[in-house]
Each structure stands twice: as C-alpha cells, then as structure tokens.
Amino acid sequence: MAKGSPVLAIDLGGTKIIAAIISSSGQVVAKEYHLTLASEGPQAVTSRMFSAIEHLLNESNLGLSQLDSISIAAAGAIDSDKGLVTSSPNLPGWSDVPLRDMVSRQFGVDAFLLNDASAAALGEHRLGAGRGTANLIYITVSTGIGGGIIIGGKLYLGSRGSAGEMGHMTIDVNGPRCSCGNVGCLEVMASGAAIAREALRRLRDGESSTLSDIVAGKIENITAEEVGLAAQGGDRLALEVVLRAATYLGVGLVNIVNIFNPEMIVIGGGVAKMGDLLLGPVRKMVAERAFRLSAGAVRIVPTQLGDDAGVLGAAVFAMEQKRE
C-alpha cells in the first residue's frame, strides 16, 4: 500500500454509524451518517455498516486498493488485540463479535478495532483540544457514557484493550439498573438516556414543563436534546434535570481527577452540546471535591472535533499501528 493512502474510518455507536474517508494528514475528505438501528442485532448492524462502507467508496470514487486500511471505533468493551466486540450495552446482542476480522475478510484490507471513546480521546489528543498535553481523559456523554485515556502522550488501552469504561463506574450503589447489568453506573445516572428518562418520570408524575409543548404532547418522545432546549429557555423542570445529571457527572469526574491527575478532560457527545449548562456544575463539583492539587491542574473543556473525534481517532490509530 502506497504511503499516504487514506483510511476509511467507522464510528459505530448505539444510535448512528458515521463513515468517513480520512486523509493521511488527518482531514475528513468525505463523510456519511446512517442509523444504527441497534435493536435489530449484530448481523443486521454489520450488514448496514458494510453497505455504508461500500456506498462511501462509490460516492468518493475510491477503490479498495487505494485505501490504507479500514478502522472501526465501536461502542462497548473491545478486545483490541483479538479484534472482538466482547459486549456493548448500547449494541444489544453483541457478544464476542469478531468485527475486525469480519471487515478484513469482507473487503480484503487491513482492519483495526478499538473502543469509540478511546478513538475520540486519541483524535482530540492528536488533532483537537488536547494537542500539546501529555495526560488527557476524554468523556463522551451521549446515549451512553464512555471514556478514553491518554497517559504520557500514548493511548492507554489496558491489558486487553478495554480500559476507559468511565460510564460504568458505580456512582450510587442503590441506583437504578444499568443496561450493563450493574446498578447505579455513571451512565444510568448522567447519560442522555438518563436525562430523558428523568424528565419523562417527572412529567408523568404531573409536573408542568414547556417540554410538553416542545414535543407536541408526545412526552414519550422526549430526548436529552429537547431537555437541553427547554433548559436553555429557562424551564425549571428541565434545568433541574440537567443539574441532577451534571452533579452525577461531576462526581464521576472527581473520581477521575483524583485517580489520573490529568491536565485536561475533554467532554464530547451530544449531551455536551448543552455547554455551560452541563459543564458549569461539573467544573464546580470538581473544584469543590477533588484533591486541591489535582483540581487545580485540570482543565475541563468541550470537544474541538465534535462528531468527527471518533472517526479521526480511529484513522490515527490505524496509521500509528501500521507505523509500529
């Protein structure tokens, strides 16, 4: 393969599949979005992902021989060495799916697999908000909550490639059951799904809110995005729901700051688009509860790369793996 060939990167999440062509200089050349429809199971989702790859190549007038590789950033606990999606709370039915080898066989090119939040951490470190830092934590707050770790400028994946599952630290030992099977995880307390669920619970209990108008009375359709819109408009219920989630997220970040003592925590994902409504209370919690030395050293900032963090990081991962 000629040096400087592009990588086709996939960000496989619980809600959407992002397929992108990434140049050797780290530029997004082409990009497409597709629905994951995760409830249909692994076979349907992988077929949809293969179709997305083929469609993007056709639209970009690229042949497989022109690619450096295909690199997949997937939600869940990933065994990067074996190329397995071992489990994924946001991809129902996925258990030890050999996704890397499936992609390599299907398309006849080198393939790589890592966790989506680890990929985003790598993307932000190399190309985004974290350039120039040595120690960085990335947290994505969207349908679920994930994390990625950069230590000494290098992506830390742990002994089997599954490090960084920040969303599944226990925040409340008596909390609700998480989709991972545990109870009181950060994800079930502070994710986009948690925000929507708490808003819906309060509305069903008879509380009033402009959220009902935003969704035209169909409160079962409420998402974190609508809660954020209502909160930005000053709606009391929505503001309280966001503050509740931000408080739990802040508790999680206190743990992370005390354990890792990072220079920077980058917050990405759809929920992070709420900006200071979310990040303000998070920063306050860290300042009040983390060890003073560690709290004073860390900056908590929004993503620079946005939705592109995962695909850019996946591409960087493939390029760096092939150079080693």
Q: Per-residue pLDDT tens for 40-76?
A: 999 999 999 999 999 999 999 999 999 999 999 998 8
Q: What are phi and psi of 79, to 5 degrees?
A: -95, 95
DSSP state of 324: -
In 3D, which of 241, 299, 236, 229 has the Cα closest to residue 270?
Answer: 229
Q: Which structure tokens are listed for 97?
A: 């799916």
If asked whether residues 157 and 281 sit together in one domain, one would say yes
Q: Which pLDDT score is estimated for 324? A: 67
Q: Per-residue pLDDT tens for 16-40?
A: 999 999 999 999 999 999 999 999 9
Give the mean pLDDT of 99-126.
Answer: 97
Range of the domain at 174: 129-303
Q: Per-residue pLDDT tens for 297-316?
A: 999 999 999 999 999 999 99
Give the neighbor-by-neighbor strand order of the sheet with 69-74. Answer: 28-35, 16-22, 7-12, 69-74, 111-115
Q: Which pLDDT score is estimated for 2? A: 39
pLDDT band at 176; cut points 50, 70, 90: very high
Q: Which pLDDT score is estimated for 38? A: 94
Question: 166-193 burial by CB neighbour count: b if 16+ within 10 A, else e?
Answer: bbbbbbeeebeebbbebebbbbbbbbbb
185, part of any domain: yes
If asked whether residues 13 and 65 sit together in one domain, one would say yes
If asked whether residues 211 and 74 sit together in one domain, one would say no
Round the average pLDDT of the chain to a whole number and report it.
Answer: 95
271, part of any domain: yes
Q: Per-residue pLDDT tens for 115-172?
A: 999 999 999 999 999 999 999 999 999 888 999 999 999 999 998 888 999 999 999 9
- The CA-CA-CA angle for residues 299, 227, 189, to 5°, reads 60
If asked whether residues 136 and 111 sit together in one domain, one would say no
Position 151, amino acid = I
Kind plus residue range of the DSSP H or E element containing 208: none
Q: Which pLDDT score is estimated for 30? A: 96
Q: Which pLDDT score is estimated for 205? A: 96
Query: What distance in Å separates the CA atoms of residue 196 and residue 284, rounded to the nearest whole number?
Result: 23
If asked whether residues 175 and 253 sit together in one domain, one would say yes
pTM flag (> 0.85) = yes
Quote the number of domains for the chain. 2
Q: Which pLDDT score is estimated for 1? A: 35
Q: Which pLDDT score is estimated for 44? A: 96
